Structure 1
Amino acid sequence: MTASSSQVIGAEHTVPERRQYRYRWLWRLRHSPTGMLGAVIVVGVVLVVLLGTAIAPHDPELIDLKQRLVPPVWAEGGSVGHVLGTDQLGRDVLSRIILGTRVSLLVGIAGVALAMLTGVFLGVTTGFWGGWWDGLVSRFLDTFLSIPFIILALAVIGVLGVKGGNNMLRLILVLGLANWVIFTRVVRGEVLAVKERDYVEAARAIGQRSWMIMLRYILPNVTASIIVLGALQISTVIIAEASLSFLGLGVQPPTITWGIMLADGRDHLATSWWLATFPGIAITITVLGFILWGDWLRDVLDPRLRE
């Protein structure tokens, strides 16, 4: 067999292998019922956010006291015009849930993005440089990790004074500052292992700068863990936003969020259960979707689980 024919045969095998590797994630998604369910939920939530008012059957701010506390369509006294019923001001519950999705997801993604940027920077630098910088940040990590996330968020709110008005940006800042520690801890652990590999030592030996090594050799090798953790933490931040809004410390009316809807419905649980039940179901489904999606991403991206 000639060298040219060997190259041709090698090329014929290389193309299918590359193609198989490229679409491996699709194969894994098709054969993972929980991953498929999570992806469907996440895509559905994103579509609801993008379409928003286009799919809302009513104006979520429209007050109609003649239609106040109408039950869901399948309950006695329900109306086809209000599938999930109305609240104490006659506003359509389904429309408010749809519009509330936008705020909850925006706060979740933005809060995680802020925490990710802060945590990845600190995790990479402390893990790579070590020394006094690692010791200083580690002391902060130990302190922050000993405090429950929601309590930490409340503490940051106390410092920043988040109250009154449309404080969405401040709420994002609060959730980001309260959530950076998990990213720092995970990334730091990954960097401690990666920096001992031969190619990193070789880069050091030829005199490459520390920042170049971190950007070129360290960060790409911890990206998979960052993506998976980010997907999982979105669910945590969504719950935190709903909890803070429920307590009156998050986004304030008239902005619509699931937490505010829960707070509005707590005084009517005995007589108008749907006011709090359906926003609670929306939170549960969304959080479940991101958790399942994050678990599937971990299975696909983690080299220890791909084998």
Structure 2
Amino acid sequence: MSDIQQPAPPLPPNTVGTQPPGTPAKKEGRPASLWTDAWHDLRRRPIFIISLILITVLVVMAAWPSLFSAIDPSDPRTCELATARQGPSSGHIFGRDNLGCDTYARSIYGARNSLLIGLTTTVATMLIGGIFGMIAGYFGGATDTISSRVTEIFFAIPSILGALLIAATFRGGPLSSITLVIIALTVLGWPMTFRIMRAAVITAKNQDFVVAAKALGAGHVRIMSRHLLPNALAPVIVIATINLGGFIAAEAALSFLGVGVTSPDISWGLMISDARNRFLDAPLPLIFPAVFLSITVLAFIMLGDAVRDALDPKLR
């Protein structure tokens, strides 16, 4: 009888299926999505934190420049030729430019138009390129062929040269200089978004969830908006974030060449253009807006790189 195994003693009450003492309980909730994982990854990236802080400061500066003008309360449009090219002083910490305008005040207020052009152009290119790219990638066939050939025509045009031609041709018309720059950059900027969206849709439309939606009788609009768009949006957001900095730099280039933003509007590119002729005599009116411009473009490029790494599982 001694060889007969004794039954195992029963578990203590309230311990069946529980975790060992001291183990944290798992939170119940929705399964993690691509965007949730990306956000958790971004919060651990110093490059994302730094770029986000810089962009936040620039956006606040553009929206409420008066918050920063307390340091130097000069009016950006009040100029005194008698004080042209004066160096920094207690009342004008960045000095004055070639026309006697306060360089600090113009640098602060110039952020509004530069960011406005960059953001508006980015949104416009996302809408145009995203919609046409979605249609071309989803329907394929002749629609895709014709759209791709039209896009290649725009790709063959050098961006700055084409924008320079458009801005110079319609300059002086009913459109403001800011609106004209936005249109010129949008006309030549949407093909990149088109290609990214088209490629993402072609990859996603053959997935099982899209095939199942078609089998259940879902219409084209519902499939594109509810199933394809969420899965194709990530690469478009990445390229749009990077392009935003490029559009701001392109506006500065057009203004430097004399076909961009014009007075009485203010932008960093216009300030650089106005200060280039007397750079050796007074370098500060060119250096300060150039620094603001460089920091802004760099911040958006850093943000785009961080978002790309977070949204691409292969790069984690």
Q: TM-score, normalised by structure 1?
A: 0.88
Looking at structure 2, the residues matched to 232 and 81 of structure 1 have their Cα atoms a distance apart, in angstroms, of 37
1:76 alignment partner in structure 2: none
Q: Does 1:104 align with 2:104?
A: no
1:262 alignment partner in structure 2: 272
Of 166-175 and 276-285, deviating more is: 166-175
1:62 alignment partner in structure 2: 78
Looking at structure 1, the residues matched to 87 and 149 of structure 2 have their Cα atoms a distance apart, in angstroms, of 53
Correspondence for 2:194 among 184, 188, 213: 184
Partners of 2:167 and 2:260 within 8 A in 1: no
Q: 1:26 to 1:80 in 2, by over 3 A?
A: farther
1:83 alignment partner in structure 2: 93
CA RMSD of aligned residues (A): 2.8
Superposed CA offset, 1:155-177 (max 9, x none): 43356x13367322222122111
Deviation at 1:23, TM superposition (A): 7.2
Looking at structure 2, the residues matched to 265 and 25 of structure 1 have their Cα atoms a distance apart, in angstroms, of 43
Looking at structure 2, the residues matched to 132 and 93 of structure 1 have their Cα atoms a distance apart, in angstroms, of 55
Partners of 2:34 and 2:311 within 8 A in 1: no
Of 126-135 and 240-249, deviating more is: 240-249
Looking at structure 2, the residues matched to 132 and 205 of structure 1 have their Cα atoms a distance apart, in angstroms, of 24
AA of the residue aligned to 1:63 = C
Of 222-231 and 102-111, deviating more is: 222-231
Superposed CA offset, 1:210-268 (max 9, x none): 11110110001011112111111101110111111111211210101111101110110
Looking at structure 2, the residues matched to 241 and 286 of structure 1 have their Cα atoms a distance apart, in angstroms, of 13
Alignment map for 1:198-277 (pairs within 5 Å): 198-277=208-287
Partners of 1:104 and 1:241 within 8 A in 2: yes
Deviation at 1:126, TM superposition (A): 0.2
1:162 alignment partner in structure 2: 171
Q: Does 1:193 align with 2:203?
A: yes
SS of residue paired to 1:108: helix
Alignment map for 1:10-89 (pairs within 5 Å): 12-15=25-28, 28-56=41-69, 57=72, 58-72=74-88, 79-89=89-99
Partners of 1:163 and 1:250 within 8 A in 2: no
- Unaligned ranges ≥5, structure 1: 73-78
Partners of 1:268 and 1:275 within 8 A in 2: no
AA of the residue aligned to 2:283 = W
Structure index of larger Rg = 2
AA of the residue aligned to 2:59 = V
AA of the residue aligned to 1:53 = S
Looking at structure 1, the residues matched to 43 and 128 of structure 2 have their Cα atoms a distance apart, in angstroms, of 35
Identity score, percent: 33
Of 231-240 and 33-42, deviating more is: 33-42
Looking at structure 1, the residues matched to 60 and 86 of structure 2 have their Cα atoms a distance apart, in angstroms, of 28
1:75 alignment partner in structure 2: none
Looking at structure 1, the residues matched to 83 and 168 of structure 2 have their Cα atoms a distance apart, in angstroms, of 39
AA of the residue aligned to 2:171 = V
1:132 alignment partner in structure 2: 142
Deviation at 1:189, TM superposition (A): 0.6
Superposed CA offset, 1:127-176 (max 9, x none): 000111111111112222233221232243356x1336732222212211
AA of the residue aligned to 1:199 = F
Deviation at 1:16, TM superposition (A): 8.4
Partners of 1:82 and 1:94 within 8 A in 2: yes
Looking at structure 2, the residues matched to 26 and 67 of structure 1 have their Cα atoms a distance apart, in angstroms, of 51
Q: TM-score, normalised by structure 2?
A: 0.85
Looking at structure 2, the residues matched to 116 and 33 of structure 1 have their Cα atoms a distance apart, in angstroms, of 27
- Unaligned ranges ≥5, structure 2: 1-10
Q: 1:250 to 1:6 in 2, by over 3 A?
A: farther
Q: 1:305 to 1:137 in 2, by over 3 A?
A: same
| Structure with greater proportional helix content | 1
Q: 1:249 to 1:7 in 2, by over 3 A?
A: farther
Partners of 2:42 and 2:48 within 8 A in 1: yes
Q: Tell me the number of residue pairs that the alignment of Structure 1 and Structure 2 aligns.
A: 297
SS of residue paired to 1:14: coil
AA of the residue aligned to 1:50 = A
